[in-house]
Amino acid sequence: MIQFLQQLLNGLSLGAIYALIALGYTMVYGVLKFINFAHGDVYMIGAFAGMYITPYVWKILPQGADSSRFSWSTAGGAFAVLALSMAVCAVLGVVIERLVYRPLRERPRLTVLITAIGVSIFLEYFGQYLFGANPKLFPEILPDRVIEGLGDDLILSVNQVVVFAVTLLLLAVLCFIVLKTRIGTAMRALSYNPVAASLMGINNDVVIAFTFGLGSALAAAAAVLNAINYPAYSIDPFMGILPGIKAFVAAVLGGIGSLPGAVVGGLILGVLETMVVGYGSPMYRDAIAFAVLIAILLFKPNGLLGRAEKEKV
Amino acid sequence: MDPKMAGHETEGPRMNPLLEMDRATVEFGGLRAVSELDLTLRQGELVGLIGPNGAGKTTVFNLITGVYQPTSGDIRFEGRSVAGRKPYQITARGVARTFQNIRLFGSLSVFDNVRAAFNIHLHHGISHALWRGPGFDREEREVETMAEELLEIFHLDHLRDAECTALPYGDQRRLEIVRALATRPKLLLLDEPAAGMNPTEKGELMRLIRFTQEKFDLAVLLVEHDMRVVMGICERIAVLDYGVKIAEGAPEAIRNDRKVIEAYLGE
Amino acid sequence: MNRPKTCFLLFVALIAALAPFQSAINPYYFNILISIGINIILGVGLNLVTGYTGQFSLGHAGFMAVGAYLSGSVTVFLAPRWLPALGGGAAGETALFLLALIAGGLGAGLAGLAVGVPSLRLKGDYLAIVTLGFAEIIRVILQNMEIVGGPRGLSIPIRPTGLFGTYLAAALTVYVVVLLVHSTYGRGFLTVRDDEIAAEAMGINSTKYKVIAFVVAAFFAGIAGGLYAHFIQFITPEGFGYLKSVDIVVIVILGGMGNTPGVILAAILLTILPEGLRVMSGWEFLPDAVRGIVKNRMILYSLLLIILMLTRPQGLFSSGGKWTQKWRAMKRRGRA
C-alpha cells in the first residue's frame, strides 16, 4: 500500500510536468488546428535557458552556504530562473510562429506538419551545435529536502510539493487568462470559428502569437520544474523528443483542444508510466505512452473530455 | 415532357421503387437533422428536394450514400437495405452523387477524373496492373474510349488534358456530373448543381439534366435552391424543413402549398 | 505498349553486366552506391504511401527494422545448419540471403498490415504520430528481445549484399510503384489522396487502397532493411529510431510527393550530400562557425525542409505538373 501511494505520488509529480507541456499542444491546436511538433523542443530550450540563466541570477541573489536551510534568496533565485526561462521560450514561440507557421496558415495541413517536423529537427540539431552534444547537469536551483514524519517508507520531498504548488498556480493563472481576460475570450472565439472571430474585430494574428507564447512559456516552466523535481537533472539537445511526444499523448488522451483534458491526460499518463516502471518493466516505460495513444485513438478518438468534430461533406 | 403529364406514366417498369427511405432518421448529439423521412423514387423519375437553408437536404444525400448512418429507420435501394454499407459499396450498387462544394480530384486532369470513376467496373486488379498482359491493355483502352465518349457528350472533350481545378465553375460542375455518370449509376443525386451559375448557364444545366436523365435512363434526385430550375424540370418535389418533410407533390401543388410558403417566408 | 517491362528488363540486364566489376570499385564509393540503392527503395516505397496515397507515415524505419532483424535472424540462426546443406560456397550463401530477404520483406509487410489496418482510419497529424508510435513500440520490443541481442545489437556473419541485389530490389520497387499508379486501378491511390470522400462516392474503397499502399511500402522497407543488415553486418534497435524515419520522409518530400523520378534523385542527392558536407567541413578557409554547421547535416536538412515548405511545397524536382501536362498534350498530338 505504501509502495502504491509512493508510486502515485511520483506519478502525479511526473504527470504535472506532462500536463504543463500538454497544455501548449492543446492551446495551439485549439486556435490553429494543428499539432506543433516542435513543442517538445521548446521544452528543451526552456531547460537550457534555465541552465544558462542560473549563474547570472546567482550573481544577484547569492546562494547560502548551507543548502539545507531555507533562504529567501534561494527561493527568489529559483523563481527568477523559472520566470526568465518562461520569458525566453515565450519569445521563441512567438518568433517561430511569426517566421514559419504564419506564412503557412492557409496551406494544406500536411505542409504545416512537415514544417513543424523541420522546426523540431532544427531546434534539436542547432541546439546540439550551440550547446554541444554531451548531456549537461542542470544546476541545483532549489536544494531538496525530504519531508519527515510521513512514515518510514513514504518519501515526499519539499520540491515535489513546490512543483505541485507552482503547477497549480500556473493553472490558476492560465484559467484566469483564458476565462476572464479579453485575449482569453478571443482565444476561445478563435478556436470555435476563426472567420467569425476575425469578423468580430479580433486580430487573429495577435491571438495566435499570444497563444504560442503562452504555450511555450508553460513548456519552459515544465522544464525548470522538472529540474527542481529531480536532483542531478541532466539535459541534452534531444531531451525534448520523448516528453514532447508523451505530452502530446496526454493532450490526445484528455481530448485535444480541451484545457482541463490536457491536465487530466497528463496526470493519468504520469501515474500510468510510473506504475509500469514500478510494477512492470522499466524497459517498457517509453512504450506505454504509445500504447495508450494507439488505444485511445482507436477506441475514443476524441479523448476523454474532447468534443467531436465531423468533416463537412 | 410536361411535368403534369409525367404523373400519369406510373405503370410498367416504373412500378418497383428504386429508392425507398422508410422513416429514415439521423441524429447528431441529440439534434435531429433528418426526422422520420419517407421518400420514394422510381426508376426514371426526376424528383426535387427543396427546403430552406439548413433543412437537412445535403444530410439526406449523405444518408443515402452512406456518409452518415441512419439512427433509426431504413433506406432501401432496389429493395435491399443500404444501412450499414460503406459509401463505396452503395456507389457500386448504382448510386452516384455530386457535391455541393465541388469535390473533384484536384491533382488529376479532366480526363483522369473521369477515368478514375470507372474503377468499380474494372476486371483488373493489382496483379494485372503489374503484369500488364493483353487483357489489361484492352481494358485500359476500353476505359479510355468510354471516358472520351462521356466527355464528348458533355462537350468537355476539348478540355481533356486540362487541370480540373483550372476549369471555370460551370465546367467543374458539369465534370462532376460526368464523373458521377462514369460509375454507371441508376440513381443520380445532384447537390445544388446550379449554384453559382448565371441564368444562361442555368437554362443550359436544366436541358443537360433532362438530357442526362433520358439518355442514361436514370432516376435523379435534385437538391437545388433555384426555384426556377426545380419547378422547371422536376416531376415531383419534396419539401424539407428542420429535417421534416412538410410537403410532397407536383410543382404546381408545392408552389401553392401554405406550409411551404410559411417555411420559406417564416411565420 | 509493354515499355515499362522492357525498361525494367533492360535495366536488370545492365546491372547484371556491371555487377562482376563491383570488386574493382573503391570500398568508399561502393558504400555510397549501396546506400543510394537502399535509400531509393525506402524513399520510393514511402512515396507510394505519402506521395501517391496522401497518408503521412512517420514510422517507416520501424518496418525497415522488422526486415533487418528478421532477415538477419534467418541468416544468423540458419547459416550454421543450412549453409553446409545448401552446398556451402557462394551459391549456398546467395540462396540463404534470398530466403532471408524474402522473409524480411514478408515479415515487414505483415507488420505493415497489422499497423495499417487500425491506424489508417486516422488522418494527417494523428496518423503521423500513431505510425511513429508503432515504430517506437517495435524498437522497444527489439530492445527487450534477448535472442536478437537486445540493446547490444545483432551481428550478421556474412556480407552478401552487392550492387546487383541492391539495384535489382530498387528497380523492382520503382517498377511496382510506377506501374501500380499508372493504371485505372492505381489511379485509386491518387483519388484517395486528393479527396477521400469523393473517392468513396466514386466507388473506390479508400481503406483497401491505403492498406495496399502501406503493405507494399512496408514490404520494400523490409527488403531494404535486409539488404542493409547484410551490408553493415551489425544492427541495433537504436539505428531504426525516429530520426531514421525522418530521413526517409525528407527524401520523399525533397523529391516531391508523388514524383518517383524526383524521389530517386533526392535519394541520390541526400546520400551524397553528407559526404560532400564532410569534405566541406575540412576546408580550412571557411569560418569555424560555418564549418560547425556544415559538419551537422541535420541542421541543413531541417532548414531545407522548412524553406522548401515555405517556397516550393511540391518538392525540389517537381515542376508542379506543368511538364507532365505538356507531355500528355504532346503524346496526344502524336497519336492523332
The reported pLDDT for the residue numbered C145 is 92
The reported pLDDT for the residue numbered C288 is 83
- What is the helix (H) or strand (E) element at residue B187, kind and residue range? strand B187-191
Half-sphere exposure of A307 (CA within 13 A, CB side): 9
The reported pLDDT for the residue numbered C19 is 86
The reported pLDDT for the residue numbered A310 is 59
Alpha-carbon distance A273 to A280, whole Å? Answer: 10
The reported pLDDT for the residue numbered B2 is 44
The reported pLDDT for the residue numbered C88 is 66
Contacts of B29 in chain A (CB under 8 A): 308
> Mind listing the pLDDT tens digit of every residue in chain C (336 residues)?
467 888 899 999 999 998 888 889 999 999 999 999 999 999 999 999 999 999 999 999 999 999 999 999 999 998 888 777 766 677 888 889 999 999 999 999 999 999 998 888 888 888 888 898 899 999 999 998 999 999 999 999 889 999 999 999 999 999 999 999 999 999 999 999 999 999 999 999 999 999 999 999 999 999 999 999 999 999 999 999 988 998 999 999 989 888 999 999 999 999 998 888 888 888 888 888 888 888 888 888 889 889 988 988 888 876 545 445 555 555 555 544
Closest CA to A123 of A193, A58, A43: A43
* pTM exceeds 0.95 for this model: no
In this prediction, residue A120 has a pLDDT band, given cuts at 50, 70 and 90, of very high
Segment among A136-150, A238-252, C29-43 with least mean pLDDT: A136-150
Contacts of C203 in chain B (CB under 8 A): 88, 91-92, 117, 119-120, 183
- Would you kindly state where each structural domain of chain A is located, as residue ranges? 26-239
| Number of CB atoms found within 10 A of residue C316's CB | 16
Provide the ipTM: 0.89
pLDDT in tens, A146-182: 887 677 677 888 888 999 999 999 999 999 999 999 9
pLDDT at B12 over 50: no
- What is the helix (H) or strand (E) element at residue B245, kind and residue range? strand B244-249
Alpha-carbon distance A306 to C303, whole Å? Answer: 35
Smallest Cβ–Cβ distance between C136 and the set A34, A117, A286 belongs to A286
Smallest Cβ–Cβ distance between A118 and the set C121, C296, C305 belongs to C305
Segment among A57-66, A106-115, B103-112 with least mean pLDDT: A57-66
Smallest Cβ–Cβ distance between C204 and the set B119, B132, B136 belongs to B119
Alpha-carbon distance C166 to C227, whole Å? Answer: 7
Alpha-carbon distance C218 to A45, whole Å? Answer: 35
Q: For residue A104, give the chain C residue with the closest CA.
A: C310
Percent of residues, chain A, with pLDDT higher than 90: 57
Place of cell 478563435: A190
- In the CATH hierarchy, which fold is given to the domain comprising B17-94+184-265? Rossmann fold (3.40.50)
The reported pLDDT for the residue numbered C315 is 81
The reported pLDDT for the residue numbered B1 is 39
The reported pLDDT for the residue numbered B4 is 42
Contacts of A117 in chain C (CB under 8 A): 58, 246, 249, 305
Cα separation values, C318 from C57, C85, C247, Å: 21, 51, 19
The whole-number average pLDDT for the span B188-196 is: 92
Cα separation values, C55 from C59, C80, C126, C131, Å: 12, 42, 10, 10
The reported pLDDT for the residue numbered B131 is 83
Contacts of A310 in chain B (CB under 8 A): 28
DSSP C112-126: HHHHHHHHTTS-HHH
- What is the helix (H) or strand (E) element at residue C306, kind and residue range? helix C297-311
pLDDT in tens, A85-116: 999 999 999 999 999 999 998 888 888 888 99
| Number of CB atoms found within 10 A of residue A219's CB | 35
pLDDT at A23 over 80: yes
Q: From the CA of B11, how many Å to the nearest CA of chain C? A: 32
Please give the residue that has the higher pLDDT: either B135 or B11. Answer: B135
What is the separation of C-alpha A80 from the centre of its chain, rounded to a whole number of angstroms?
18
pLDDT at B74 over 50: yes
3-class SS of residue A125 = helix
Which B residues, 49 through 88, put their C-beta within 8 Å of a C-beta on chain A?
A: 58, 62, 67
| Number of CB atoms found within 10 A of residue B144's CB | 15
- What is the helix (H) or strand (E) element at residue C159, kind and residue range? none
